[in-house]
Structure 1
């Protein structure tokens, strides 16, 4: 288990080195995506906390996911963690299911991770391109710290295959 953690840390470090020269460009792109209205492909709500995933965007071999979280309750929403993984959609009885955990290359996540009552926030996550079959989907989970208002979003293969090039989105405007 320890070697897997070291491999994951090494991978994330190598990605940061690759994107170090383009960090200003990537940060600018993430801000531009966060401020752009995109059509919604998936949503979930739990306890007056809503999560919406917008259309998937692509640049090279990087996929951009825009996640909007809105807190409509009178209680603050403290985000514990956000998890990305690929899993089979349907499994028959006594069949082993496997989950492939995915880690964002870059994200626009604030260090605060607290969503005040009545507020909303736009987060953009960049994932390296990954294989996905028709029988599996990408799952995004947003967990509340010390709470039970968790959000679960499912992105099917068809939404990932319909990913729009970022250049085509911003050249239209």
Structure 2
């Protein structure tokens, strides 16, 4: 479940990070022969590298104070770490065959800011409209980034009469799964979207085999169109609460056309749901 996000882009999506004088970032060196350990003052909630030749691993299920950095040869990148209390730490990361330091003990003073506002109660602050609902603002920024990124998780695709429905990416972030969905209209007729639903299908065991379907409601939808014109492509994101499924279950993405019959049911294996990026 790796995520590689440019820190410069990600910081734009955090409404209350420090926006003062430019910050000079420290550099951490790593390679593919040894683990470089980073110990933080608070448990790690999220860790992100900006390129695929750097990997930062940490315990996502039970938050701990340390993470491990490894690198393969390539251009320098960056590392963004957010602690449990919202403190943000940012570093330049580079590959090096020889490492002089294997353990970094990060003090609180190294934080470049906090994702939450720290404001005295007596001070009135004019809050931008986009920051009033912090969660929705975060969803919007992160969804926009995922659409622009065009990363793929595998070949999850189905077509019907010139309409192609595919899941381009599944990303785990905080407590949600982000499904990047693409609909291509390769036909000569416009496609009017009636609904696009997510559900989980369970195969019932026993002599009388049956299927039980449970609809899953997204907590946020981004860029969902009403119409997809001929020879055009629409990309959107559905945000669902984190879930996993056994090998006897599968996720179903159902596309339904308004006043038409070009409907698609795209089946998604448990291995994609349980191993997102």
Q: Give deviations 1:22-41, integer Å, cap 9, x for gaps.
A: 22221010111111112243
The reply on whether 1:45 has 2:195 as its aligned counterpart is: no
The reply on whether 1:125 has 2:238 as its aligned counterpart is: yes
CA RMSD, 1 decimal: 1.9
More deviation in 127-136 or 79-88?
127-136
Summarize the alignment of residues 1-173 of structure 1 with structure 2, pairs less than 5 Å apart.
20-39=133-152, 40-88=154-202, 94-110=208-224, 112-164=225-277
Cα deviation for residue 134 of structure 1 reads 1.2
Aligned counterparts of 1:86 and 1:77: Cα–Cα separation in 2: 25
Which of the pair is proportionally richer in helix? 1
- CA spacing shift, 1:93–1:54, aligned 2, 3 Å: farther
| Structure having greater relative contact order (Cα 8 Å, sep ≥ 6) | 1
Cα deviation for residue 116 of structure 1 reads 0.6
Q: Give deviations 1:64-115, integer Å, cap 9, x for gaps.
A: 00110010111000010011110125766623432111011101144x5100
- CA spacing shift, 1:77–1:90, aligned 2, 3 Å: farther
Aligned counterparts of 2:254 and 2:134: Cα–Cα separation in 1: 31
Contact 2:203 2:209 in 1 (8 A): no
Aligned counterparts of 1:90 and 1:67: Cα–Cα separation in 2: 29
Aligned counterparts of 1:91 and 1:139: Cα–Cα separation in 2: 19
For residue 97 of structure 1, give the secondary structure of its aligned residue in structure 2. strand
Contact 2:169 2:181 in 1 (8 A): no
Contact 2:244 2:274 in 1 (8 A): no
Contact 1:50 1:70 in 2 (8 A): yes
Q: Which has the larger radius of gyration?
A: 2
How many pairs are equivalent? 145
Structure 1: any 5+ residue segments left out of the alignment?
A: 1-18, 165-173
Cα deviation for residue 154 of structure 1 reads 1.1
- Structure 1 runs, 4 residues or longer, greater than 3 Å off: 89-93
For residue 162 of structure 1, give the secondary structure of its aligned residue in structure 2. coil
For residue 24 of structure 1, give the secondary structure of its aligned residue in structure 2. helix
Contact 1:55 1:159 in 2 (8 A): no
Contact 1:85 1:139 in 2 (8 A): yes
Contact 2:217 2:240 in 1 (8 A): yes
